[in-house]
């Protein structure tokens, strides 16, 4: 069965949100919807209708995505939901086709998303492009093996000062870190809204900055939970976001998190797979690390995507991409790239490697391994070409995406 798909207007947001409420099992507060109205791109919204009733939803944010050595515009798929009574009739598949057409019409070379379940999006050509590596640590095991010199100071600030200070620090990291997404002013407002039901019983947001010579070069946003057991404090501190421009700033902010009294456990949400802290701690095994998929990417214009990043080593590669969902996206391509830039075009040469679009997308930001795809039977070709591809696609900083959308 096929349903009408169209964008919505702001007055329809409440009815549209009912689909998410039923699909994700939560109640959307009016205040949250009002804040969302300022970030939601209504011209990119996607509603599937059965008559007058919204039965499926989606949308996209217009992000700039940092790639290794560059930046590309991308459509960040969001708000995907289908009413429980309309599931498994192909509505999501229709929404995905609509989204891909819309992204391509805007000449964004790829789509990105965060997935509620890892079984959903591979069939549409998405691959896992960044890893989230959150950790938990007992405060009794947070001694540093060696302390970095931290000439600056840590200062607790209020929400208004945080709103003014944090974006500039985040902006300084954007060009350095593949996987980072741009954050608009309205997105920062939404992000700091701090709704009661986002807190899971913890405190409201606390903000700390690290300053050197009066300049803020790192921030920590955290929450805490007061907890007592048999007369002893066993509180928790959630380091919700820590961003630092220098290793000294990062070290000073962790030092602060580990110094808060009455806390026993420090937890994080999404953190990079390469964590400076594991090199600073005297007993790094005490970090209980939980790895999961982060940002998923789906290339829709392979030449533009691949020319939108740089490569760790100078090289040339001819490869075939199979795209069963959007066959016209696939084909044979020739990539010539290096640390100073790259060009990619369709080619009639014999391909050295052959893989599907999800496999290529998973390597786009520099994470993953063509060797493992080869060993898993998802990439064919000579070992020498696989090795060359890995040397080119790797980068000196593993990608990480700190955004939820
Ligand atoms: C995920 C969701 C949007 C799927 O919608 P849907 O309209 O039922 O999906 P479709 O009917 O188009 O399914 C297409 C294919 O994906 C499969 N599929 C869909 N959802 C799946 C899931 N959660 N797990 C495994 N497979 C899934 C279907 O079985 C179907 O496979 P087939 O093509 O081999 O038959 C819907 O189940 C939902 O709203 N879930 C709760 C909210 C959610 O998790 N949203 C995603 C946010 S990132």
Closest CA to 402 of 194, 178, 207: 178
- Number of the ligand 1 atom closest to the C-alpha atom of 79: 47
**Per-residue pLDDT, 1:** 63
Distance (Å, whole) CA 77 – CA 100: 10
Distances 63 to 178, 187, 256 between C-alpha atoms, Å: 13, 11, 32
Backbone Cα Rg of the chain: 23
Helix axes 13-24, 30-39, angle to 10 degrees: 110
Nearest CA to ligand 1 atom 19: 120
Domain positions in the chain are: 4-108, 133-291, 302-356+364-393
Q: What's the gap in Å between 114 CA and the centre of ligand 1? A: 14
Q: How many CB atoms lie within 10 A of CB 204?
A: 12
Q: Which CATH superfamily is domain 133-291 in?
A: Gcn5-related N-acetyltransferase (GNAT) (3.40.630.30)
- Number of the ligand 1 atom closest to the C-alpha atom of 121: 16
> From the CB of 80, is ligand 1 less than 6 Å away?
yes
What tokens were used for 136? 């938990």
- Number of the ligand 1 atom closest to the C-alpha atom of 113: 48
Distances 330 to 319, 327, 344, 363 between C-alpha atoms, Å: 10, 6, 13, 16
Which residues, listed in sequence order, are joined to residue 236 by a DSSP beta bridge? Answer: 225, 265
Nearest CA to ligand 1 atom 16: 120
Tokens 């986002």 sit at which residue? 198
Q: What's the gap in Å between 343 CA and the centre of ligand 1? A: 36
Distance (Å, whole) CA 322 – CA 359: 10
> From the CB of 105, is ligand 1 less than 6 Å away?
no
Nearest CA to ligand 1 atom 29: 88
> From the CB of 116, is ligand 1 less than 6 Å away?
yes
Q: What's the gap in Å between 272 CA and the centre of ligand 1? A: 29
Using a 10 angstrom Cβ sphere, with 0-12 exposed, 13-18 middle and 19 or more buried, the burial of residue 284 is middle
Nearest CA to ligand 1 atom 21: 120
Distances 44 to 75, 149, 381 between C-alpha atoms, Å: 9, 48, 39
Distance (Å, whole) CA 242 – CA 249: 10
Nearest CA to ligand 1 atom 31: 88
According to the CATH classification, is domain 4-108 in 1.10.10.60?
Answer: no
Distance (Å, whole) CA 60 – CA 62: 7
Note the CATH architecture for domain 302-356+364-393.
2-Layer Sandwich (3.30)
> From the CB of 83, is ligand 1 less than 6 Å away?
no
> From the CB of 53, is ligand 1 less than 6 Å away?
no
- Number of the ligand 1 atom closest to the C-alpha atom of 89: 11
- Is the separation of the CB atoms in 204 and 153 below 8 Å? no
Distance (Å, whole) CA 221 – CA 239: 6
> From the CB of 119, is ligand 1 less than 6 Å away?
yes
DSSP-assigned letter for residue 288 = E
Q: Is 133-291 the same fold as 4-108?
A: yes
Active centre residues (catalytic):
121, 405
> What is the block-wise mean pLDDT of the chain (405 residues), using blocks of 10 residues?
91 97 94 91 98 97 98 98 97 98 98 98 98 97 95 97 98 98 94 89 97 98 98 98 98 98 97 96 97 98 98 98 98 98 98 98 97 98 98 97 96
Tokens 């039901």 sit at which residue? 197
The residues, any chain, with a CB within 8 Å of residue 232's CB and separated by 6 or more, are none
Sheet of 127-128, strand order: 4-6, 46-50, 53-67, 70-82, 110-113, 296-299, 127-128
Task: At 186, give phi and psi (nearest 5°).
Answer: -65, -35
- Is the separation of the CB atoms in 155 and 209 below 8 Å? yes
Q: What's the gap in Å between 324 CA and the centre of ligand 1? A: 18
């Amino acid at each position: 069965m096929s349903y009408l798909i169209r964008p919505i207007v702001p007055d329809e947001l409440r009815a549209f949100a009912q689909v998410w409420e039923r699909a994700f099992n939560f109640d959307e507060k009016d205040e949250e919807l009002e804040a969302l109205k300022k970030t939601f791109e209504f011209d990119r919204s996607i509603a599937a209708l059965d008559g007058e009733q919204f039965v499926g939803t989606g949308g996209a944010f217009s992000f700039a995505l940092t790639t290794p050595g560059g930046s590309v515009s991308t459509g960040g798929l969001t708000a995907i939901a289908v009413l429980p009574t309309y599931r498994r009739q192909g509505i999501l598949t229709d929404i995905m086709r609509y989204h891909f057409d819309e992204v391509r019409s805007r000449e964004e070379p790829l789509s990105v998303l965060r997935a509620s379940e890892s079984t959903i999006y591979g069939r549409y050509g998405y691959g896992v492009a960044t890893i989230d590596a959150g950790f938990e640590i007992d405060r009794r095991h947070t001694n540093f093996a060696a302390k970095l010199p931290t000439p600056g100071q840590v200062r607790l600030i209020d929400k208004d000062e945080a709103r003014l200070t944090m974006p500039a620090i985040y902006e300084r990291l954007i060009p350095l870190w593949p996987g980072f997404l741009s954050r608009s002013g309205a997105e920062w407002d939404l992000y700091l809204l701090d709704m009661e039901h986002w807190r899971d019983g913890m405190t409201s947001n606390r903000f700390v900055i690290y300053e050197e010579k009066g300049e803020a070069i790192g921030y920590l946003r955290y929450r805490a939970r007061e907890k007592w057991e048999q007369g002893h404090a066993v509180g928790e501190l959630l380091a919700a976001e820590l961003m630092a421009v220098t290793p000294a700033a990062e070290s000073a902010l962790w030092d602060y998190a580990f110094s808060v009294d009455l806390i026993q456990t420090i937890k994080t949400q999404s953190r990079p797979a390469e964590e400076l802290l594991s090199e600073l701690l005297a007993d790094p095994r005490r970090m209980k690390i939980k790895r999961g998929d982060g940002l998923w990417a789906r290339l829709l214009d392979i030449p533009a995507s691949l020319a939108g990043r740089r490569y760790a080593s100078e090289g040339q590669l001819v490869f075939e991409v199979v795209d069963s969902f959007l066959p016209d996206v696939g084909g044979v391509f020739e990539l010539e790239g290096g640390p100073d830039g790259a060009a990619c075009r369709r080619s009639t040469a014999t391909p050295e490697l052959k893989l599907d679009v999800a496999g290529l997308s998973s390597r786009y930001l520099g994470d993953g391994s063509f060797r493992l795809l080869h060993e898993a039977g998802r990439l064919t070709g000579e070992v020498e070409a696989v090795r060359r591809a890995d040397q080119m696609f790797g980068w000196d900083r593993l990608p990480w995406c700190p955004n939820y959308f």
